[in-house]
Structure 1
Amino acid sequence: MPTSAHIKAALEPEEIYLLTVVSPRKEEGNSPTGIVGRCLARQLLSQGHKVRVLAEPSQCDGWPDAVSVIEGSITQPVKYAHAFDNVNAMFLAGAIPSTVDDVLARAREAGVEKIVLLSSHGPEYEEDNPPETWFWLAIENAVERSHLAWTCIRPSAVMGALIEGTYPATGTDWPDTIRAEGIVREALLNQGHYPFIHEDDLAAVAAKALTSDDYVGTILEAIGMPLSTRSRIHSIAKALDRSLDAAELTPEQSRSTWRRRGWPAGAIDVTLYALEEYGARLDEMTTWTLAQQPSVPDIIGRPLRTYDEWVSENIETFR
């Protein structure tokens, strides 16, 4: 005979985690929401949770069968308000400043209790600029004043963004030139460094923030160690079991190449600045990375996955 506890559990609505995903874009505020979202969905499902996704049309395929997919956009929250129904917590990725307040209003009205925001390190640079120019900082501020439980995640560059094409620093044009010519052309080839995180590790941080209250009201630095451009090329060559050529471009040559590929000036400026700064201040930036608490391994309970591992998992991208 069912106990009262069993009856109560059966009557209570099942908790739903809502993930939002937008199409890859090159304008300001881009992030690899599709790759990270799919990793997060798999992890939440493996833990026995129910997952719903609000995805723009190009991102509606490739989800596990158990995921409920709603075609739509988090940038139009009023139109797709039904996506928030019965949601307990939301992984907010791909929001834009002009509609983020509407997102949060719809979430409150639907009874959403927690927002986990996929943010950026942009706020650290934006805070010195006029508020009307803010992107990431405007979104973070809106989330923090939403009267909902919140966590903001500021990640390193995501390894999988190379495939999704959402950040030039990840080498978004490398697969084409490696497949066609066996070469990588890049500015700051010898000096350039950048921190990277595997999308599975970033998703694991998000899963912890969604399913526990340990990180409510905090900004989590989901960062990996700085990697040199040379070491990333070496990882790809080793996995391909072939040599790759590398040609150093001037910053202006890289700027022209990225501009032809549709990257806006702001993204190009940030990329060149960061590659140079990390290289010039490598010891300082490495010390800063190691000092962050809680660290990603502390949060997810295991070591970070390496760039070598990521390349091995995605080697067909370069063949």
Structure 2
Amino acid sequence: MILVTAATAPVGRSIVEQLVAAGRPVRALTRDAERAGLPEAVQIAIGDLSDPDSLRAALEGVMSVFLLAVVPGFAPAFLAAAKEAGVRRIVFQSSGAVDDAAAEQPNAIAAFHAELEQEIKASGIAWTFLRLELASANAIQWALDVPGQLKAGDTVRAPYAKAAGSPIHPADFAAVAAAALTSSEHEGAVYRMTGSQSLTHAEQIAAIGTAVGRELRFEEITPAQAAEAMGPYAPAEVLLADWAEHLHRPAPSSGVVEAVTGRPARTFAQWAADHATDFTA
């Protein structure tokens, strides 16, 4: 049995769907079974990472876990429950900001994930770390609610039109995760998760316009205006620093998706086409 946490988020949902399609037994951890909308073959476990009792039930009979952690302080109870249940493998969505060579991590996001990586290693359970590069997280879409902006009109207001990103398609991330969940080949590996193309913010918005059949306008705003416009859970300072860093150099492309799956990573244009309905009323 494979347990997928954050199973209704884009990556988690795609992991579940790909595992089911491959005939693998899957259990999804979710707070609301009625609204999960997952395939019928999936077992539903009600709970979350902050509830040790729900974790024990969710982990029963589980061999591999996909872990996306957003709850500070959950790790000791989770790892203890995982060991007790006989979990053999954890595939952890970590952060590309983690610096293995640094005496001190560069920011709070890196520190949070670096600490979790060390706790997972210390548990004795086999692990694979999928470090999502910030430049590949498609952050402009969620931090500045691009879908919401485009439902209101044809203008996207965002900072740094020339900042480069390499957004990774959730299905590609999920394919690498599924491979690591189902094979010992990837145990002990640290993968830098990126998309295949370096595109500026303006180029990304133009690609979305092509996908939805609209001519979109990118209106550049200042970093201060962007910080004010971002949602309360967006790490504005970290995002703005990363975007500024990629104003004059391309975003990373690691080639991990192709190396692990044997096929090229999906393009940003494919992502935009797959999500075209997100940008319309």
Q: TM-score, normalised by structure 1?
A: 0.79
Q: Conserved in 2, the CA contact under 8 Å of 1:193 and 1:276?
A: no
Alpha-carbon distance in structure 2 between the residues aligned to 1:59 and 1:231: 38
The residue aligned with 2:43 is 68
Change (3 A) 1:99 1:117: same
Residue of structure 2 equivalent to 1:82: 57
Partner of 1:122: helix, strand, or coil? coil
Aligned to 1:280, which of 228, 248, 263? 248
Task: Label 1:206 to 1:158 Cα distance change in 2 as closer, same or farther (>3 A).
Answer: farther
Partner of 2:187: helix, strand, or coil? coil
Alignment of 1:262 with 2:238, yes or no, is no
CA drift at 1:51: 0.2
Distance, in Å, in 2 between the alignment partners of 1:300 and 1:65 is 26
Q: Distance in 2 between matches of 1:127 and 1:76?
A: 33
SS, match of residue 81 in structure 2: helix
| Pairing of 1:155-234 with structure 2 (within 5 A) | 155-156=132-133, 167-168=139-140, 170=142, 172-189=144-161, 191-224=162-195, 225-234=197-206
Answer yes or no: is the 8 Å Cα contact 2:257–2:265 preserved in 1.
Answer: yes
Could you report, residue by residue, the CA deviation over 1:58-85 in whole angstroms, capped at 9, with x for unpaired residues? Answer: 8951111100111210222344311111
Relative to structure 1, the CA distance from residue 177 to residue 125 in structure 2 (aligned partners, 3 Å threshold; closer, same or farther) is farther
Of stretches 174-183 and 73-82 in structure 1, the one that deviates more from structure 2 is 73-82
Separation (CA, whole Å) in 2 of partners of 1:116 and 1:77: 19
Please say which of residues 97-106 and 71-80 is displaced more in the overlay. 71-80
Contact residue 97 and residue 134 of structure 2 kept, 8 A: no
In 2: Cα distance, 1:77 partner to 1:59 partner: 22
Tell me what 1:299 maps to. Answer: 260
Q: 1:251 — aligned with what?
A: 223
Contact 1:153 1:221 in 2 (8 A): yes
1:198-234: CA deviation from partner (whole Å, max 9, x where unpaired): 0000000001101111111111112123321011111
Distance in 2 separating the partners of 1:310 and 1:146? 37
**Which residue in 2 is equivalent to 1:12?**
none
Over the matched positions of the two proteins, sequence identity in percent amounts to: 30
Q: Over aligned residues, Cα RMSD in angstroms?
A: 2.6
Pairing 1:57-136 to 2, within 5 Å after superposition: 57=32, 60-124=35-99, 127-129=102-104, 134-136=111-113
> Which letter does structure 2 place at the counterpart of 1:227?
L
Count how many residue pairs are aligned between Structure 1 and Structure 2: 277
Query: Is 1:52 matched up with 2:27?
Result: yes
Structure 1 residue 39, shift from structure 2 partner: 0.5
Cα 1:17–1:101 shift into 2, 3 Å: same
* Contact 1:21 1:59 (C-alpha < 8 Å) held by counterparts: no
* Equivalent residue, structure 2, for 1:7: none
Q: Secondary structure at the match of 1:124?
A: coil
- 2:165–2:200: 8 Å Cα contact kept in structure 1? yes
CA distance in 1, matches of 2:44, 2:183: 24
Instruction: Provide the C-alpha distance between the structure 1 equivalents of 2:53 and 2:145, rounded to a whole number of angstroms.
Output: 36
Offset of residue 104 of structure 1 = 0.9
Structure number with larger C-alpha Rg: 1
Q: Secondary structure at the match of 2:49?
A: coil
Distance (whole Å) between structure 1 residues aligned to residue 79 and residue 179 of structure 2: 21
Runs of 4+ in 1 over 6 A off after TM superposition: none
Q: Distance in 2 between matches of 1:302 and 1:310?
A: 16
The answer as to whether partners of 1:156 and 1:196 remain within 8 angstroms in 2 is no
Cα deviation, residue 52, structure 1: 0.3
| Stretches of structure 1 lacking an aligned partner (at least 5 in a row) | 1-15, 23-32
2:5 is aligned to 20
Find the counterpart in structure 2 of residue 140 from structure 1: 117
Listed one character per residue, the Cα deviations across residues 159-208 of structure 1 (whole Å, up to 9, x for unaligned) are 8x77xxxx45655411122121210001111x211221000000000011
For structure 2, the 5+ residue unaligned runs are none
- For the residue of structure 1 that corresponds to 2:45, the secondary structure is strand
Q: Secondary structure at the match of 2:26?
A: strand
